[in-house]
Structure 1
Amino acid sequence: MEPPVVLLHARRGWPVDVRRLMLLVEILDRGSISGAAEALSYTPSAVSQQVRRLEREVGQPLLARLPRGVSPTDAGLVLYRHACRIRDQLHAAQADLDAVAGLRQGHLRVGTFPTVGSSLLPLAVRAFKEQHPGVRLTVHSARFDTLVQRLRAGADDVTLLWDYEWDRFVDDELEVTHLLDDPTMLVVANDHRLARRRRVRFSELEGQEWVVRESDHPVVEVLNRSARRAGFTPRIAFRANDYQEAQSMVGVGLGVALAPQLAVTNRVPGVRVLPLAHEVPSRRILAVTRSQAISSPGEASMLDTLRGVATSLR
Structure 2
Amino acid sequence: MQNEAMLNAPLDLVRLRLLAEVARHGSMTSAAAALAYTPSAVSQQIRRLESDVGQPVLDRHHRGVSLTEAGRVIVEHTLAIERNLEALRVRLDDIAGLRQGSLRLGTFPTVASSLLPLAVTGFRRAYPGVRLSVHSARLRQLLDLLDRRSVELAFLWEYEWSRITADSLELKVVTEDPTALVVAQSHRLAGRESVDVAELADESWIIRGDNHPVAEVLSRTAHAAGFEPSVAFEANDYQEAQAMVAVGMGIALAPRLALANLRADVRVLRLDGYAPSRRILLARLASRVVTPAEQAMADVILDLGRNGTVGC
* TM-score for both structures, normalised by structure 2: 0.90
Find the aligned partners of 1:10 and 1:91 in 2 and give their Cα distance. Answer: 31
2:94 alignment partner in structure 1: 99
Stretches of structure 2 lacking an aligned partner (at least 5 in a row): none
**CA contact 1:105–1:134 (8 Å) conserved in 2:** yes
Q: Secondary structure at the match of 1:15?
A: coil
Moved more, 286-295 or 258-267: 286-295
| Residues 1:263 and 2:267 aligned together | no
Deviations 1:28-56 (A, max 9, x none): 22233444444445454444443333222
Identity of aligned residues (%): 51
Moved more, 45-54 or 78-87: 45-54
1:291 alignment partner in structure 2: 286
Find the aligned partners of 2:256 and 2:114 in 1 and give their Cα distance. Answer: 10
Q: 1:196 aligns with which of 191, 209, 220?
A: 191
1:276 alignment partner in structure 2: 271
Q: 1:120 aligns with which of 115, 123, 144?
A: 115
1:205 alignment partner in structure 2: 200
Find the aligned partners of 2:165 and 2:62 in 1 and give their Cα distance. Answer: 71
Which AA in structure 1 matches 2:106? G
Find the aligned partners of 2:5 and 2:229 in 1 and give their Cα distance. Answer: 77
**CA contact 1:251–1:269 (8 Å) conserved in 2:** no
Which AA in structure 2 matches 1:273? V
Q: Secondary structure at the match of 1:12?
A: helix
Quickly say closer, same or farther: Cα 1:72–1:114, change in 2 above 3 A.
same
Find the aligned partners of 1:46 and 1:11 in 2 and give their Cα distance. Answer: 22
**CA contact 1:159–1:288 (8 Å) conserved in 2:** yes
Q: Secondary structure at the match of 2:249?
A: coil
Deviations 1:258-283 (A, max 9, x none): 10010001101211111112621111
1:129 alignment partner in structure 2: 124
Please report how far the alpha carbon of residue 308 of structure 1 lies from its aligned counterpart in structure 2 after TM superposition: 2.0
**CA contact 1:160–1:288 (8 Å) conserved in 2:** yes
1:303 alignment partner in structure 2: 298
Q: CA RMSD in A?
A: 2.2
Find the aligned partners of 1:105 and 1:27 in 2 and give their Cα distance. Answer: 37
1:218 alignment partner in structure 2: 213
Which AA in structure 1 matches 2:73? V
Which AA in structure 1 matches 2:233? F
Q: Secondary structure at the match of 1:267?
A: coil
Find the aligned partners of 1:167 and 1:271 in 2 and give their Cα distance. Answer: 30
Which AA in structure 2 matches 1:250? V
Please report how far the alpha carbon of residue 250 of structure 1 lies from its aligned counterpart in structure 2 after TM superposition: 0.9
Which AA in structure 2 matches 1:218? P
Please report how far the alpha carbon of residue 152 of structure 1 lies from its aligned counterpart in structure 2 after TM superposition: 1.8
Deviations 1:201-257 (A, max 9, x none): 222211111100014111111111111111111110100111111111111111111
**CA contact 2:6–2:52 (8 Å) conserved in 1:** no
2:76 alignment partner in structure 1: 81
Find the aligned partners of 2:271 and 2:35 in 1 and give their Cα distance. Answer: 71
Which AA in structure 2 matches 1:288? A
* TM-score for both structures, normalised by structure 1: 0.89
2:133 alignment partner in structure 1: 138
1:30 alignment partner in structure 2: 25
Find the aligned partners of 1:48 and 1:292 in 2 and give their Cα distance. Answer: 47
2:167 alignment partner in structure 1: 172
Find the aligned partners of 2:33 and 2:157 in 1 and give their Cα distance. Answer: 60
Deviations 1:268-307 (A, max 9, x none): 1211111112621111111122223521111111111111
**CA contact 2:6–2:51 (8 Å) conserved in 1:** no
Deviations 1:32-85 (A, max 9, x none): 344444444545444444333322211122234456754322221111111111
**CA contact 1:188–1:256 (8 Å) conserved in 2:** yes
**CA contact 2:225–2:274 (8 Å) conserved in 1:** no
Find the aligned partners of 1:233 and 1:173 in 2 and give their Cα distance. Answer: 39
Stretches of structure 1 lacking an aligned partner (at least 5 in a row): 1-8
Q: Secondary structure at the match of 2:8?
A: coil
Structure 1 stretches of at least 4 aligned residues deviating more than 6 Å after TM superposition:
none
Which AA in structure 1 matches 2:235? A
2:106 alignment partner in structure 1: 111
Which AA in structure 2 matches 1:92? A
Moved more, 22-31 or 88-97: 22-31
- How many residues are paired up? 306
